[in-house]
């Protein structure tokens, strides 16, 4: 899939970071972008928006990114269950990485994401 045709859901509780990521995606030519501020609203957005890829923060309330992805992986619908995910977090601690990586994601980007790094991860995920 061409990256510019991708439908991307950005799950980020910090409004400034959410706007930064959306603007970065737009600079890459991606126009079909939906946002959510936590895992609960992201689950609702999954049904309506049907993204090709989800970029999600980890530390959010009331449902964090790890729990959001666990719920996706346990979902009955195979499209949702196998959703392509990239984690974004300012937290690059070993404990967080060890908890996040087994959830079957296409990477972990330390925030704020550099456009080149984000584009490379998205391209790999959408191959």
- Dig out the tokens for 117 from the structure: 């790094």
Domain segments of the chain as ranges: 3-125
State the pTM of this model.
Answer: 0.94
Contacts of 66 (CB under 8 A, 6+ apart): 58, 99, 100, 103
For residue 43, CA distances in Å to 13, 49, 105, 126 come to 14, 10, 17, 21
The stretches in the chain having pLDDT less than 70 are none
Exposure of 108 in the CB half-sphere (CA atoms within 13 A): 18
Distance CA 12, CA 35 (A): 8
pLDDT for position 1:
80
Domain spanning 3-125 has what CATH number? 3.40.50.2300
Taking the CA atoms of the chain, what radius of gyration do you get in angstroms? 13
């Amino acid at each position: 899939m061409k990256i510019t045709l991708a439908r991307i859901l950005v799950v980020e509780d910090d409004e400034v970071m959410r706007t930064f990521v959306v603007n970065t995606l737009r600079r890459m030519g991606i126009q079909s972008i939906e946002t959510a501020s936590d895992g609960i609203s992201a689950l609702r957005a999954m049904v309506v928006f049907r993204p090709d890829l989800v970029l999600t923060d980890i530390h959010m309330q009331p449902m964090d990114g790890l729990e959001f992805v666990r719920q996706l992986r346990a979902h009955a619908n195979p499209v949702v269950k196998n959703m392509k995910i990239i984690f974004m977090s300012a937290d690059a601690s070993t404990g967080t990485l060890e908890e996040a990586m087994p959830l079957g994601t296409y990477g972990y980007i330390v925030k704020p994401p550099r456009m080149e790094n984000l584009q490379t991860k998205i391209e790999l995920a959408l191959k």
